[in-house]
């Protein structure tokens, strides 16, 4: 389905996290914002993950252009983070066509980059449509206030967000009032944390806390999967905790 292009450049000084002796689980991020539009704190956290030996793939939302086929432009930055930009032809009509093309491009990325054990970190719930076939060790969702406000009148957005929250092991709400609303909606969710870590405005401390929670969860799930001999992280016996911090 997809046509995965080779990276445009492989910088000699880039972190070579394709050749890890003891590979950690890969992290796949999905965002409605382009990498250049993210806040410094989030970029710093993801770069730190890459420097630690974790492959980080930051997948942006698709761009529509005059190309004839769908393709994925992949660039590895000097800090080791992979930026993946999907390109879809203007002629793609309807949500189903876009979702099918995006799933194909993502499957190509997994195959080409030999992605095995992985975790998914969503900064937008819309990506769930083309990722719900994946089997991550852990699922993380940043419930960003500006997205919730922008789509508050959309039943489709609320439905897909509800499905993502139900699947997510960790949910970070970037505003205290938003966290309270989500806690009221999902009182049984054990992984909901009120941490101000949005994609546009946040603090270093908030992102450090969110990053540590995510790493601990992913690494624990990976150990459980390895011990159980079950790749894909089906064992859900480790939970992220119920406290709202």
Tens of pLDDT, residue by residue over 21-78, are 347 899 999 998 999 998 888 899 999 999 999 999 999 999 998 878 899 999 999 9
* The CATH fold of domain 22-227: Rossmann fold (3.40.50)
Q: Which residues pair with 202 in a beta bridge?
A: 197
Domain map (residue ranges) of the chain: 22-227
The more confidently predicted of residues 54 and 148 is 54
**CB-based contact 66:90 (threshold 8 Å):** yes
- H helices of 10-137, in order, are 40-51, 95-112
Tens of pLDDT, residue by residue over 157-193, are 788 888 998 899 998 876 655 656 666 666 666 666 6
**What does the pLDDT average to over 135-143?**
93
Distance of CA 220 to the CA centre of its chain: 18
* Whole-number average pLDDT of the chain: 78
Phi, psi of 67 (to 5 degrees): -65, 160
C-alpha–C-alpha distance, residues 92 and 88, integer Å: 7
């Amino acid at each position: 389905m997809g046509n995965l292009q080779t990276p445009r450049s492989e910088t000699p000084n880039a972190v070579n996290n394709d050749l890890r002796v003891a590979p950690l689980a890969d992290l796949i991020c999905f965002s409605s914002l382009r990498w250049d539009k993210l806040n410094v704190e989030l970029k710093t956290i993801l770069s730190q993950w890459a420097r630690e030996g974790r492959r980080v793939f930051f997948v942006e939302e698709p761009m529509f252009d005059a190309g004839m086929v769908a393709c994925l432009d992949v660039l590895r930055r000097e800090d080791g983070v992979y930026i993946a930009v999907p390109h879809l032809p203007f002629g793609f009509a309807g949500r189903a066509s876009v979702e099918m093309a995006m799933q194909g491009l993502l499957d190509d990325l997994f195959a080409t980059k030999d992605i095995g054990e992985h975790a998914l970190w969503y900064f937008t719930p819309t990506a769930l449509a083309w990722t719900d076939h994946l089997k991550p060790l852990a699922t993380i969702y940043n419930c960003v206030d500006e997205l919730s406000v922008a789509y508050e009148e959309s039943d489709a957005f609320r439905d897909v967000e509800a499905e993502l929250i139900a699947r997510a092991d960790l949910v970070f709400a970037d505003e205290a009032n938003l966290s309270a609303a989500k806690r009221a909606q999902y009182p049984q969710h054990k992984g909901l944390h009120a941490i101000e870590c949005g994609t546009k405005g946040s603090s270093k401390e908030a992102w450090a806390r969110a990053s540590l929670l995510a790493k601990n969860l992913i690494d624990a799930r990976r150990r459980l999967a390895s011990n159980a001999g079950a790749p894909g992280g089906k064992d859900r016996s480790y939970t992220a905790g119920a406290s709202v911090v």
